[in-house]
């Protein structure tokens, strides 16, 4: 079992799905975990379900709020070792149906939100010259997806945030990686039709959709010392769907 005792971790979008499973996995490995969500009551409830130390309100589209929350977590716990920039949204739209609000909302949450989080994490980690950051990309960011042009573009950007930040921060002892999940059963994919779920399962060599815990386990590995020479990677967690 990975040992993260003594580590301080922050997980954005930790109220449900992959973020909640990640907060739980890191806490079970011994880390002191702070999770966030847009609503304070929901974040506190999730923190208690995950065994996290605190659940705080944070909208990742707000750069100043991200910066001040990261600073205060690092101050309260004396340091910040692990940051998982997980908060994200997905809304499908065919090219002709894409509204400007969808573009703004998706890019400000998935791209700017991830960027704010990575910037703030780097600032907190640079002082002690160590740390591990994971961002949430997607297989559609690598390969595209009909009806998901905006979301796919945002996730391609997220993967390149990881690659670029890894190059910039490596000499300061900070590793940055991305995970690229396939179709994972969470609220985000709950709206998929049964036909779409069945089709995705049948196209997946492992013959099923993924579980949030399966993404969380990979993230826990990437932030641990077991992954000490891994940086700038985009790790597919998709049951082989893209093969
Ligand atoms: P969920 O919809 O289940 O959870 C999304 C989380 O993000 C919630 O905790 C939500 O918190 C938070 N969130 C959304 N917008 C914001 C915001 N502006 N500021 C702060 N927090 C926010 O999604 P998943 O768990 O499925 O997805 C997690 C990540 O994984 C996302 O980045 C997603 O794109 C990515 N991913 C998911 C896949 C899947 O199949 N599920 C596949 C590939 C990638 P709250 O609503 O409480 O504020």
Per-residue model confidence as pLDDT tens digits over 4-15: 999 999 999 999
Among residues 9, 151, 159, 162, the one annotated as catalytic is 151
Mean pLDDT score across all residues of the chain: 98
Ligand 1 contact via 32 beta carbon (within 6 Å): no
Ligand 1 contact via 39 beta carbon (within 6 Å): yes
Ligand 1 contact via 84 beta carbon (within 6 Å): no
Ligand 1 contact via 165 beta carbon (within 6 Å): no
Q: Which numbered atom of ligand 1 lies nearest the CA of 20?
A: 9
239 Cβ neighbours under 8 A, 6+ residues apart: 182, 204, 205, 206, 207, 208, 209, 210
Confidence check: pLDDT of 209 > 90? yes
151 is catalytic: yes
Edge to edge, the sheet with strand 131-136 lists: 54-57, 32-37, 8-11, 82-85, 131-136, 174-181, 234-237
Residue pair 9/31 in contact by the 8 Å Cβ criterion: yes
Helix (H, G, I), strand (E, B) or coil at 120: helix
Ligand 1 centre to CA of 42 (Å) is 14
For residues 47 and 31, what is the distance between their CA atoms, to the nearest angstrom? 13
- Identify the DSSP state of 15: S
Ligand 1 centre to CA of 137 (Å) is 11
Ligand 1 contact via 28 beta carbon (within 6 Å): no
What CATH fold (topology level) applies to the domain 8-185+212-237? Rossmann fold (3.40.50)
Confidence of residue 29 (pLDDT cuts 50, 70, 90): very high
Query: What are the distances in angstroms from CA 6 to CA 78, 197, 224?
Result: 11, 40, 12
For residues 66 and 10, what is the distance between their CA atoms, to the nearest angstrom? 11
Ligand 1 contact via 60 beta carbon (within 6 Å): yes
Q: Which numbered atom of ligand 1 lies nearest the CA of 215?
A: 30
Residue pair 32/53 in contact by the 8 Å Cβ criterion: yes
Confidence check: pLDDT of 188 > 90? yes
Ligand 1 pocket test: pick from 87, 137, 209 the residue with the most ligand atoms within 8 Å of its Cβ. Answer: 87
Which amino acid residue places its CA nearest to atom 31 of ligand 1?
A: 88
Ligand 1 contact via 239 beta carbon (within 6 Å): no
Ligand 1 contact via 18 beta carbon (within 6 Å): yes
Q: If we measure between CA atoms, which residue out of 134, 133, 83, 140 comes closest to residue 106?
A: 140
Q: Which numbered atom of ligand 1 lies nearest the CA of 184?
A: 40
pLDDT tens sequence across 66-106: 999 999 999 999 999 999 999 999 999 999 999 999 999 99
Name the strand (E) or helix (H) holding 134: strand 131-136
| ipTM surpassing 0.95 | yes
Confidence check: pLDDT of 60 > 90? yes
Tell whether the torsion through CA atoms of 51, 59, 108 and 121 is positive or negative: negative
What global pTM score does this model have? 0.98
Which amino acid residue places its CA nearest to atom 12 of ligand 1?
A: 13
For residues 118 and 195, what is the distance between their CA atoms, to the nearest angstrom? 37
Tell whether the torsion through CA atoms of 186, 191, 195 and 196 is positive or negative: negative
Residue pair 134/178 in contact by the 8 Å Cβ criterion: yes
Confidence of residue 187 (pLDDT cuts 50, 70, 90): very high
For residues 81 and 131, what is the distance between their CA atoms, to the nearest angstrom? 5
pLDDT score recorded for residue 1: 79
């Amino acid at each position: 079992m990975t040992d993260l005792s003594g580590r301080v971790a922050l997980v954005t979008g930790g109220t449900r799905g992959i973020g909640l499973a990640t907060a739980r996995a890191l806490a079970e490995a011994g880390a002191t975990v702070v999770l966030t969500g847009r609503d304070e009551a929901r974040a506190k409830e999730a923190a208690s379900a995950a065994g996290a130390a605190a659940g705080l309100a944070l909208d990742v589209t707000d750069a100043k709020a991200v910066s001040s929350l990261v600073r205060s977590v690092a101050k309260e716990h004396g340091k910040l070792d692990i940051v998982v920039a997980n908060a994200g949204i997905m809304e499908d739209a065919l090219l002709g149906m894409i509204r400007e609000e969808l573009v703004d909302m998706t890019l400000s949450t998935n791209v700017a939100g991830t960027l704010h989080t990575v910037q703030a994490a780097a600032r907190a980690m640079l002082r002690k010259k160590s740390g591990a950051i994971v961002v949430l990309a997607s297989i559609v960011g690598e390969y595209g997806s009909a009806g998901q042009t905006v979301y796919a573009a945002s996730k391609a950007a997220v993967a390149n945030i990881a690659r670029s930040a890894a190059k910039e921060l490596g000499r300061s002892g900070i590793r940055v990686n991305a995970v690229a999940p396939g179709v994972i059963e969470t609220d985000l994919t709950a709206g998929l039709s049964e036909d779409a779920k069945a089709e995705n399962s049948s196209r997946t060599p492992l013959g099923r959709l993924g579980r949030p815990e399966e993404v969380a386990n990979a993230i826990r590995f990437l932030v641990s010392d077991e992954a000490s020479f891994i940086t700038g990677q985009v790790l597919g967690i998709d049951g082989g769907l893209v093969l």
